């Protein structure tokens, strides 16, 4: 565990002890221990090794032991016990400005507050203002802090980041001083959520660019305004950094600020192993070493040049997560990643028959416009009554309508008749086998009972994907990014069951889902698991979500062959009628 993580844990220990009403001296020891670590200039590992941690002012014997244990093992029984003894909702209250351990203790003891929800209610009822040491002002501040919490939340959906980027990039591009511009960081890597945006510009006159950037529309705060670096915050809480570098530095800076940190670390190690040093400034021979050779710095007129200079094949930004991509690039074994243009259709889409906003015909027309070969319609099943799910009778009618449209030749796209069938709590499906058999395909999804325990949920899902008529499993984990955690499940067992039963797993491209998570795809697909990227469209413009789905698939190292809906209509028809 590194120093920063240990500081955070010491801080949290202090707060938890405060909430529990422990001796103030003991509490302060942890807070000051954290501050001491923060300002310590020496390398923590070296200090520990030399046995001198206990001599550092502000770090006593008890703390020394705990820091050493954390550093060596990353764990601390004392800390785990403490966490278990404090209601988890109380720690969430720390995110509200003005609330620390002492105030939280009072709120908990006097008003039985144990979560942000119960605190909101108490504030609205004016109970917090009546507490000693609080008052009306504090209550108002807490309430507005709660309101802002979401707007100021630390992370944002990639999709929302994209719409901000798409506004800023053209503006920067249009400035005469700007020679080149890119959005770097987690956005460029296609992370499902983005902390802040990182714009990078090549220019020899940064001043007017800074001026433009810090006076854009929609900015609520300029948090930094320097000569070559500025930071702003937009309405809604999104933050953006802008850095301006000289043109010759651009691709080194682009590579550096694209990250990830882990990827950068591996790249720097690779450079060092070749006697070079890589940074945001450039790639040059290490100083002093072999000065007779007098090799100059590497010139890069693209990111490819940097990888080439290190003997690596080009690593696309989506893969730069420090998960073996540099090693694969050394062996020239990077996958040929999926592209958006590889997709020939999709299977999980809704119409006005359930909770979609567009009719069957409108959906078909839009699919035509996009040049897709096929479009699957999978409206909700009867148990999803809140989504106006179809019962057998309505579904039979829809299937007939779909067959009729195909017959009519009105659209080029071929429509497949399917259903997004609820997986009921016991793992049974919402329709009988005969109904399922009359469909072209079946997407099986969990929509209720999302909080079942891991074992129940795992066997529920496995039971569903063992059913012969189930073609694919929809939005596997049920997560809603930044809103709702994934259901508890043993994902490895589910992947293995999908493999054994030749069931496809969906990569749901809705930007709030991006589910199954990209971190699972690489290994699963290597074992032969097939992916289907679906927009889960409830309106025509939701077909655009496929962009996010493909980017996520790329992060999972997926190739064309591993994605079902890259296949042609003929191939898909063949599989759906006679299996894999």
For residues 65 and 104, give the distance between their C-alpha atoms in angstroms, rounded to a whole number. Answer: 29
Beta bridge partners of 283: 278
From 171-179, 187-195, 464-472, 477-485, give the range in contact with ligand DGT by CB under 6 A: 187-195
For residues 140 and 98, give the distance between their C-alpha atoms in angstroms, rounded to a whole number. Answer: 11
From 42-50, 201-209, 353-361, 444-452, give the range in contact with Zn ion by CB under 5 A: 444-452
Nearer to ligand DGT, 193 or 203 (CB): 193
Which of Zn ion, ligand DGT, Ca ion, none has residue 317 at its interface (CB below 5 to 8 Å by kind)? none
259 is a site residue for Ca ion (CB under 5 A): no
Phi, psi for residue 65 in degrees, rounded to 5: -60, -45
For residues 57 and 33, give the distance between their C-alpha atoms in angstroms, rounded to a whole number. Answer: 9
Those residues with Cβ within 8 angstroms of residue 443's Cβ, 6 or more apart along the chain or in another chain: 347, 348, 378, 418, 419, 420, 421, 471, 472, 473, 474, 506, 534
Q: How far is the CB of 198 from ligand DGT (least distance, A)?
A: 5
From 103-111, 190-198, 306-314, 362-370, give the range in contact with ligand DGT by CB under 6 A: 190-198
Write the interaction track for ligand DGT spanning residues 247-266; mark x where CB under 6 A is met and - where it is not.
---------xx-xxx--xx-
Q: How far is the CB of 198 from Ca ion (least distance, A)?
A: 5
Which of Zn ion, Ca ion, ligand DGT, none has residue 30 at its interface (CB below 5 to 8 Å by kind)? none
354 is a site residue for Zn ion (CB under 5 A): no
| Interface with Ca ion (CB under 5 A), residue from 18, 182, 241, 536 | 241
195 is a site residue for ligand DGT (CB under 6 A): yes
Q: Which of 472, 352, 372 is nearest to 418 (CA)?
A: 472
Q: What is the token pair recorded at 523? A: 């290994």
Q: Which of 502, 494, 499 is nearest to 478 (CA)?
A: 494
| Interface with ligand DGT (CB under 6 A), residue from 33, 145, 185, 356 | 185
Q: Which of 193, 192, 191 is nearest to 321 (CA)?
A: 191
239 is a site residue for ligand DGT (CB under 6 A): no
Nearer to Zn ion, 178 or 421 (CB): 421
From 160-168, 184-192, 349-357, 442-450, give the range in contact with Ca ion by CB under 5 A: 184-192
398 is a site residue for Zn ion (CB under 5 A): no
CA 38 to chain centroid, in Å, comes to 29
14 is a site residue for ligand DGT (CB under 6 A): no
**Residue whose CB is nearest to ligand DGT in the complex, by number:** 259
83 is a site residue for ligand DGT (CB under 6 A): no
Q: Which of 84, 130, 133, 78 is nearest to 105 (CA)?
A: 133
552 is a site residue for ligand DGT (CB under 6 A): no
557 is a site residue for ligand DGT (CB under 6 A): no
Q: How far is the CB of 330 from Ca ion (least distance, A)?
A: 27
**SS percent in the chain: helix, strand, coil, step 5:** 50, 15, 35
How does 496-513 read in b/e, with b if 16+ C-beta sit within 10 Å? ebbeeeebbbbbbbbbbb
For residues 429 and 450, give the distance between their C-alpha atoms in angstroms, rounded to a whole number. Answer: 16
| Interface with Ca ion (CB under 5 A), residue from 11, 198, 379, 420 | 198
For residues 271 and 490, give the distance between their C-alpha atoms in angstroms, rounded to a whole number. Answer: 39
Q: Which of 163, 213, 215 is nearest to 187 (CA)?
A: 163
Which of Ca ion, Zn ion, ligand DGT, none has residue 182 at its interface (CB below 5 to 8 Å by kind)? none
| Interface with Ca ion (CB under 5 A), residue from 14, 33, 145, 185 | 185
Name the helix (H) or strand (E) containing 263: helix 261-273
Nearer to ligand DGT, 14 or 282 (CB): 282
Contact by Cβ (8 Å): 29, 63: yes
From 193-201, 309-317, 432-440, 469-477, give the range in contact with ligand DGT by CB under 6 A: 193-201
186 is a site residue for ligand DGT (CB under 6 A): yes
230 is a site residue for Zn ion (CB under 5 A): no
Q: How far is the CB of 265 from ligand DGT (least distance, A)?
A: 6
| Interface with Zn ion (CB under 5 A), residue from 64, 445, 459, 487 | 445
Q: Which of 13, 23, 91, 85 is nearest to 107 (CA)?
A: 91
Which of Zn ion, ligand DGT, Ca ion, none has residue 445 at its interface (CB below 5 to 8 Å by kind)? Zn ion
Nearer to ligand DGT, 185 or 376 (CB): 185
Residues in binding contact with ligand DGT, number by CB under 6 A: 14
| 3-state class (DSSP) for residue 454 | helix
**DSSP state for residue 273 in the 8-state scheme:** H
DSSP secondary structure, 299-335, as one string: P-SSHHHHHHHTT-----GGG-SSSSHHHHHHTT---
Nearer to ligand DGT, 239 or 477 (CB): 239
| Interface with ligand DGT (CB under 6 A), residue from 114, 139, 192, 198 | 198
Question: Which residue ranges make up the site for ligand DGT (CB under 6 A)?
Answer: 185-186, 191, 194-196, 198, 256-257, 259-261, 264-265
Question: Which residue ranges make up the site for Zn ion (CB under 5 A)?
Answer: 445
Question: Which residue ranges make up the site for Ca ion (CB under 5 A)?
Answer: 185-186, 195-196, 198, 241
């Amino acid at each position: 565990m590194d120093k920063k993580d240990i500081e955070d844990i010491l801080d949290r220990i202090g707060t938890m002890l405060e909430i529990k009403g422990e001796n103030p001296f003991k509490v302060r020891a942890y807070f000051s221990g954290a501050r001491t670590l923060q300002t310590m200039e020496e390398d923590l590992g070296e200090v520990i090794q030399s046995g001198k941690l206990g001599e550092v002012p502000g770090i006593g014997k008890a703390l020394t032991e705990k820091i050493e244990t954390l550093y060596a093992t990353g764990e601390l029984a004392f800390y785990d016990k403490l966490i278990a003894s404090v209601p988890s909702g109380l720690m969430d209250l720390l995110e509200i400005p003005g609330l620390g351990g002492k105030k939280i203790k009072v709120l908990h003891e006097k008003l039985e507050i144990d979560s942000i929800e119960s605190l909101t209610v108490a504030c609205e009822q004016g109970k917090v203002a009546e507490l000693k040491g609080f008052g009306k002002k504090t209550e108002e501040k807490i309430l507005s802090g709660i309101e802002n919490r979401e707007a100021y939340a630390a992370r944002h959906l990639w999709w929302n980041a994209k719409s901000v980027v798409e506004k800023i990039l053209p503006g920067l591009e249009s400035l005469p001083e700007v020679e080149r511009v890119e959005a770097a960081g987690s956005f460029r890597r296609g992370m499902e959520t983005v902390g802040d945006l990182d714009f990078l510009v090549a220019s020899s006159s940064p001043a007017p660019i800074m001026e433009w950037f810090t006076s854009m529309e929609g900015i609520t705060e300029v948090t930094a305004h320097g000569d070559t670096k500025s930071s702003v915050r937009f309405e809604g809480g999104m933050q953006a950094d802008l850095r301006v570098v000289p043109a010759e530095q651009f691709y080194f800076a682009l590579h550096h600020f694209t990250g990830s940190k882990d990827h950068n670390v591996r790249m720097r190690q690779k450079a060092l192993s070749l006697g070079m040093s890589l940074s945001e400034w450039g790639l040059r021979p290490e100083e002093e070493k072999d000065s007779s050779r007098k090799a100059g710095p590497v010139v890069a007129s693209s990111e490819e040049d940097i990888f080439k200079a290190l003997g690596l094949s080009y690593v696309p930004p989506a893969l730069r997560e420090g998960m073996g991509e540099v090693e694969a690039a050394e062996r020239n074994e990077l996958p040929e990643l999926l592209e958006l243009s590889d997709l020939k259709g999709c299977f999980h889409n809704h119409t006005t028959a359930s909770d979609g906003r567009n009719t069957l015909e409108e959906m078909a027309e839009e699919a035509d416009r996009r040049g897709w070969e096929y479009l699957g319609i999978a409206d909700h099943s009867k148990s999803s009554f809140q989504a106006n799910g179809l019962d057998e009778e309505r579904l039979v009618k829809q299937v007939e309508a779909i067959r009729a449209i195909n017959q009519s030749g009105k659209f080029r796209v071929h429509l497949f008749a399917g259903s997004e069938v609820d997986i009921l709590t016991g793992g049974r499906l919402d329709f009988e086998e005969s109904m399922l058999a009359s469909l072209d395909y079946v997407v099986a999804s969990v929509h209720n009972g999302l909080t079942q325990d891991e074992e129940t949920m795992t066997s529920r899902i496995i039971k569903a994907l063992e059913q012969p008529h189930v073609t694919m499993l929809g939005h596997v984990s049920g997560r809603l990014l930044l809103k709702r955690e994934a259901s508890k499940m043993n994902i490895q067992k589910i992947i293995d069951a999908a493999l054994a039963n030749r069931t496809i797993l969906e990569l749901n491209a809705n930007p709030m889902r991006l589910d199954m998570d990209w971190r699972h795809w690489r290994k699963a697909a290597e074992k032969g698991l097939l992916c289907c990227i679906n927009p889960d469209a409830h309106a025509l413009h939701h077909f655009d979500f496929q962009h996010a789905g493909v980017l996520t698939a790329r992060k999972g190292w997926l190739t064309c062959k591993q994605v079902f809906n890259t296949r042609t209509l003929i191939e898909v028809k063949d599989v759906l009628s006679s299996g894999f």
